[in-house]
Structure 1
């Protein structure tokens, strides 16, 4: 997904794992553009409606999937992820956090494929 694909106010999900044969993640609201330091690219500041220790984080657009609208690009992306990931966890009957993301000290969400220099 590109940066321009999202807008402030969009509802998105950050997919984190598998539960009951489906992908699951954290639902968040897009707030404002924000520089994503781990990738050195445009990202989005997101708000977690549940609050907590990290109410606001910055994420790269490729980590996000629309919840608020059924756009073709997100549906294609979601289907590809399901086709690839769900068979790997077909026997899982519990919620599995796949550990794809961590959060930096600056509240920047980073995917394991984007971590640089052990950060």
Structure 2
């Protein structure tokens, strides 16, 4: 018998949205420099793209992809202040560069129509953080890591 005070666990309003763009993005490690502000786009909020803003700290090996990555600092803190991420996950905030603007526009064209009319923050579920503090896109995860 279920007690009268029981409520079902919350379920997401939307299923994760596939991300065909980020895994195929061809951005090299050299595209970013230490000190730059970047964002890792994670979803939609109030009709706009939403993500985590961070500052690039130093080069770092990104173990999940076996490629050069960047050590990032989240100035707002949170559960983990520093993470390592692959360059293809990042978009410039500190300057407007053509490559990042093209990627930003493509993500807008892909995501915004799917969530038009929704004001809630929608996390598309593309990223996880490993035990090593590395931000990993779901398309880059490997078994055993």
The normalised TM-score by structure 1 is 0.95
Deviations 1:59-100, CA, capped at 9 Å, x for gaps: 000100000001111111100111111112123221111111
Q: How many angstroms apart in 2 are the aligned matches of 1:10 and 1:114?
A: 24
Which is higher, the Rg of structure 1 or of structure 2? 2
- Structure 2 unaligned residues grouped into runs of 5+: 1-26
Question: The residue matched to 1:91 in structure 2 has which SS?
Answer: coil
> Are residue 93 (structure 1) and residue 85 (structure 2) matched?
no
Which is strand-richer, 1 or 2? Answer: 1
> Are residue 71 (structure 1) and residue 111 (structure 2) matched?
no
* Count of matched residue positions in the alignment of Structure 1 and Structure 2: 119
- Structure 1 unaligned residues grouped into runs of 5+: none
Question: The residue matched to 2:69 in structure 1 has which SS?
Answer: strand
Give the counterpart of 1:25 among 47, 51, 57: 51
Shift of 1:19: 0.7
Question: The residue matched to 2:117 in structure 1 has which SS?
Answer: coil
The normalised TM-score by structure 2 is 0.79
